[in-house]
Amino acid sequence: MNMVGPHRLWRIPVLVPLALLFSAAAAAQPAPAAAAVPDAAAPAQGVTKVLSFKDLGLYGPAQLRGVEGIMGLPLGVRLDQVVTAAKLRLRLTYSPSMLPELSHIRVQLNGQVLAAIPLPKEEAGREVVREVVLDPRYFTDYNQLRFDLIGHYSLECEDAQHSSLWASISDHSELELTTAPLDLKPDLALLPAPFFDRRDNRRLELPVVLPAGASLDMIRSAGVLASWFGALADYRSARFPVSLDRLPERHALLLATNRQQPKGLAPTVFKQPTLAVIDHPADRNIKLLLVAGADDAQLRQAAEALVLGQAVLSGPWANVTKVEPGPRRAAYDAPRWLRTDRPVKLGELVESLDQLQVSGHAPAPIRVNLRIPPDLLTWNRPGVPIDLRYRYTAPAERDNSLLSVAINNQLVKAFQLAPDQTSGSASELLVPLLADQSIQDKGGFLIPAFQIGANNQMQFQFAIEYHKRGLCSGTFTDITRAAIDPESSIDLTPFPHYTAMPNLALFANAGYPFTKFADLAETAVVLPAAAGAKDYEALFFLLGRMGRSTGVPALRYRLAAAADAAKLGDVDLLLIGGGAKDDLLERWGHDLGLLLQPGSRQFLSPQFAGLFQDDPLRRGDLPRRESELGFVTQGPLGAVIGFESPLKKGRSVVAISATDPAAAGTVLDTLEDEGKVPHVRGDLAVVRGGEVRSYQGEPVYYVGDLSWWMRLWFHLSRYPLLLTVLGVIAGVLLALWLYATLRRAATARLED
């Protein structure tokens, strides 16, 4: 059976201890409203969207085999939409050995059989396209689209697992949905919908509407909201296009104070921090989420109240009377990161324990996502220990039935599935998972450290052989079940936090070093002097991506202009929009590998290089910068640059630099593209024409906590020749000391 789901396996728990007070909506105070527009447009008509099976969560082509040829896909319909028409465009290939008069593929939606696709012999063995119209009445909020292979190769007795019974459904198959908008009443109780809807697996695109000349404090509050929506979007990713004094024709986020209100919002005097959902003036089906206050301080309170207290909001609007976010978060306590102070059970890493169970002889893999703190020191360790416990329906006899364990699609370990309890220490597992007479077993193993990154996925693949007992001996009833025990655990406690910097791979994959504190308490973001909409969009995207990594909003980051950067001190710096004259990168340029200016660029050699630049924690296959070049050109170019902060030793700077806004957008696209992120490494990643080239050459520095003796041993291990010399010297000194000691002892005996 192939059952696939969306790429999300993470929950967002209670964020921090907090206290919130809201005043409920009442007739005494009208809700804020958008400015009226004469002759407002009619509500938006239905729209058609095309979703590939890959968009719906299918990991490659689905293989339907034998009587277990089942594949299911989850499908959500947004809260603010209703399906009016649906068409399935199925790309499939099937066996030429199946009998066309008996074989077909059954299509079900939420348990209702909607179609049976015939499999004519003349089209067998090659990809064909079949279109199936689905009845829209059967669609609900959460749906399950299922495909069953009904295959036969003979009119007589058959082997239910015969190799000729197969069909393959391509992940490029498509579902075309036509939806009409629903007129939702403005209600905070629906949040985060319709601005973010969990039913929608597509990338979140939420416009942010700001007044022209918005203050830094207002931009900061918008960034807090972006990080929250980024955490909600998770695997979908999130982008936040910025509209200055213009209402977009879609659901949007709107920020305002009494002094700064975007055009399109009816002039309103706010007396308290305010949250409201209002109708778009041109289309009542479009909603605007208004976050407002009398001044920037109240706006900040409103933003914090939304991200912390959304669960208790209701009505069209609410005034915030009290916000206490609680203490700052501790290092490495991001809810989506595996804990390093105790072993973590696999049951904690899935939304439902059902995700750890499968059925059938060759089921789809059980998948468990692992986000690991990116700065763990795995040096001198054989691997990450896994205590695995599993349960399965016993095969009829000893055969090739296996449980294969992989990390990021790389095989780690395989366990033979025995027909009885002679294998393993089954009696030690006391938690029954399934009702059938299954075998309980356990086994420990190590995941090689080099196979683990910041974002990982473990795959547990059960394969239980089917034993044929002779032709016409009976009917096939599949009761095979298997499960991974939720008490299975992964242990990161042996690994300290210590890593070499700069390392852009840690930033691209996990937002490190900024996400070391999930609320970004030790992060400062620096905007250029003449920041514009594209700079704000980059800020919101990066904060949303960090929220995706940690699972919590960035409540405590600082935002500053380039002119005030020198006052920031002991924080990690994220620079956005470098490339203008007299920006920070130009002032610090004598230490950097690349300087970008409109119309020119300079590629520099590192400040120093050589033997002491080599480090076991850095990639050795990246090209070094060994020349100094200058160009005058008009072509677009973007870069991500990492280096040690000139304001505080041991602190990091990551800069997003580009020659123009279009090039800056290319950098953001690169950081969002899971296929390109692995190429962002070293201390300089140059993005040109959609391609990424990484370099290293900056001075190395180290961050983290390591005992003095382990730190000494780690750094000495980088120089084996030096260790050999020191060992020889130590041996000679020890021999001399022993010789002197024995000589004195001998002399003393002679004198006696």
Residue whose entry in the numeric block shows the structure tokens 């239980």: 464
Query: What does the pLDDT average to over 569-595?
Result: 73
- Each residue of 231-259: pLDDT tens digit? 999 999 999 999 999 999 999 999 999 99
- Each residue of 342-388: pLDDT tens digit? 999 999 999 999 999 998 878 889 999 999 999 999 888 889 999 99
pLDDT at 411: 93
Q: How many residues make up the chain in this entry?
A: 752
Tell me 274's DSSP state: E
pLDDT at 748: 83
Please say whether the beta carbons of 252 and 246 come within 8 A: no
pLDDT at 42: 44
Tokens of residue 162, six digits: 């015969």
Identify each DSSP E strand in 10-103 by its residue range.
19-23, 47-52, 62-65, 70-76, 81-94
Q: Whole-angstrom Cα distance, residue 224 to residue 678?
A: 27
Q: Whole-angstrom Cα distance, residue 643 to residue 650?
A: 10
pLDDT at 398: 78
- Each residue of 124-149: pLDDT tens digit? 999 999 999 999 999 999 999 999 99
Q: Whole-angstrom Cα distance, residue 534 to residue 356?
A: 43
Residue whose entry in the numeric block shows the structure tokens 């939702």: 184
Q: Which amino acid is at 636?
A: P
3-class SS of residue 49: strand
Q: Would you give the end-to-end CA distance of the chain in angstroms?
A: 90
Structure confidence at residue 430 as a pLDDT band (50, 70, 90): very low
Least confident of 16-20, 43-47, 209-213, 741-745: 16-20
Query: In the predicted model, is pLDDT for residue 21 greater than 70?
Result: no
Q: Is 400 exposed, middle or buried (0-12, 13-18, 19+ CB in 10 A)?
A: exposed
Query: In the predicted model, is pLDDT for residue 493 greater than 80?
Result: yes
Q: Could you tell me the pTM of the whole model?
A: 0.86
Task: Report the relative pairing of strands 594-597 and 274-280 from DSSP bridges.
Answer: unpaired
What are the residue ranges of helices labelled H in 525-654? 533-550, 584-587
Q: Whole-angstrom Cα distance, residue 242 to residue 130?
A: 41
681 Cβ contact partners less than 8 Å away, ≥ 6 residues apart:
503, 504, 505, 619, 622, 694, 696
Higher pLDDT, 471 or 119: 119
226 Cβ contact partners less than 8 Å away, ≥ 6 residues apart:
208, 238, 240, 539, 540, 541, 543, 544, 547
Higher pLDDT, 710 or 544: 544
pLDDT at 39: 42
Q: Angle at the Cα of 519 (from 516 to 524), degrees rounded to 5?
A: 80
Of 191, 617, 619, give the one whose Cα is nearest residue 380.
617
Q: Percent of the chain at pLDDT above 90?
A: 55
pLDDT at 58: 87
Phi and psi based region of residue 263 (left: phi greater than 0; alpha: psi -120 to 50; beta: remaining): beta
pLDDT at 17: 38
Q: How many CA atoms lie within 13 A of 22 on its CB side?
A: 23
Tokens of residue 452, six digits: 């683990």
- Each residue of 48-79: pLDDT tens digit? 999 999 888 888 899 998 876 888 999 999 99
Query: What does the pLDDT average to over 86-97?
Result: 95
Q: Angle at the Cα of 526 (from 520 to 531), degrees rounded to 5?
A: 130
Of 521, 522, 551, 401, give the one whose Cα is nearest residue 465.
401
Name the average pLDDT for the chain.
Answer: 84
Of 54, 59, 110, give the one whose Cα is nearest residue 86.
110
Helix or strand run (H / E) with residue 357: strand 357-359
- Greatest Cα-to-Cα distance within the chain, rounded to the nearest angstrom: 120
Query: What does the pLDDT average to over 583-598?
Result: 65
